[in-house]
Amino acid sequence: MSVGEDSDTCVAGLRILDAILANPENKQCVDCGAMDCSWASTTLGCFVCIWCSGIHRQIGVHITRIKSVQLDSWEDSDCVALHKNGNAKVENLYASNRPEIYKKPIPSSPPMLIEHWIRAKYEWKEFHKDAAQSPMYLKGVKSGTLLKKGKERGCWLPRHFILDRVSNSISYYDKASTTGQKILGQIDLTRCYVLIPNEKMTDKPNTLHFLFHEGKQMRSVYVSGPTNREIVEWYYAIRTLQTQLGFSRNCVETIHESFLSKTPPEGKGKWRNRWCILVADRILYYKHFLDPFPKGVVILESGNTIEKLYDTPKHLKSGPDYKFVLSTKKRTYYWGTQN
């Protein structure tokens, strides 16, 4: 083929690609719904965003071959699967057996959930139209060894965890062989939230956060799995069992988590950084990230008020640039952040 013929072929390929992209179903990423379809899988025949395209590349060209819509050259042969399929057909083929408990991620979802979703769809074919049955973790069945955060900072210990339908709990042991072993701990699933912490803050990858009532306190237990797949399977296995037991209200996402500055009561004293988690109906604040117990809990209820501090009192002039006041029936909290 001459240079001129090669150029003509590329132009023809781009025209076909533009026509396929004009279809409304192809204007959002097939995997996370982002309004960015600047990449395409020429083998699967679908369009994805730049973030999801990176995960497709990790899976490998034997399953999904990725090309840039704008940066790569296109020929007619590159458009065959795209013309035949498109996002709607690919979603119907690879995700029609997705159970309701397994939520399709959105662009702001934790990266580990997005990666698991993409691999589960195309690499493991867990939700494929022809899949014989759901994997065991989506039936609420799971056991295995995870690293559990110890009481001392930086200490992670291997523990064998079992999702126990009889006691509606997660039990953990010292070793995998549980015969004759004493249970080291048990987490009541009827009073537990399972959350995915900010992975930039943990010193271990693939981490889950169990937040549960222990007496009158809220306790945190952090665990780390060997792979993304293992820890996300635990996440959904727990959520599945909670739903089956009628405790789907505990299947919540962390609404927000970050460092905030706060003062002692009534705004007296120095500003101190606290790690804060907004989940369900409360704000929990911790002295250090990964602490087992919060320093305090603010219950969000009717009658609470929140307002931005425009005219900052003299004793609060120092500290973060942006400040706000949260008033409850028992106390007034002064909070701040740099952005």
Question: Tens digit of pLDDT for each residue in 114-162?
Answer: 999 999 999 999 999 998 889 999 999 999 999 999 877 678 999 999 9
Cα distances (angstroms) measured from residue 123 to each of 37, 127, 128: 21, 11, 10
CA angle 85, 89, 90 (to 5 degrees): 85
Give the CA count within 13 Å in the CB-facing half-sphere of 332: 8
> What pLDDT was estimated at residue 334?
87
Share of the chain above pLDDT 70, in %: 91
3-class secondary-structure state, position 95: helix
Question: Stretch 53-79: mean pLDDT, rounded?
Answer: 91
Band the pLDDT of 1: cuts 50, 70, 90.
very low
3-class secondary-structure state, position 159: strand
> What pLDDT was estimated at residue 11?
54
Round to whole Å and give the CA distance between 196 and 109: 10
Q: Across-strand partners of 219?
A: 212
Give Cα 3 distance to the centre of its chain.
Answer: 48
Round to whole Å and give the CA distance between 206 and 232: 8
Cα distances (angstroms) measured from residue 228 to each of 167, 225, 239, 267: 27, 7, 17, 43
What residue has token string 């291997």?
A: 158
Is there a contact between 189 and 167 (Cβ–Cβ < 8 Å)?
A: no
Higher pLDDT among residues 10 and 101, named by residue: 101
* Signed CA dihedral, 48, 54, 60, 65: sign only: positive
The model's pLDDT over 226-248, given as tens digits with 9 standing for 90+, comes to: 999 999 999 999 999 998 888 76
| Alpha helices in 153-284, H assignment, sequence order | 228-244
Burial of 46 (0-12, 13-18, 19+ CB in 10 A): buried
Out of 104-113, 267-276, 305-314, pick the least confident: 305-314
Round to whole Å and give the CA distance between 286 and 74: 53
Check whether 197 has a pLDDT greater than 80: yes
Check whether 5 has a pLDDT greater than 60: no
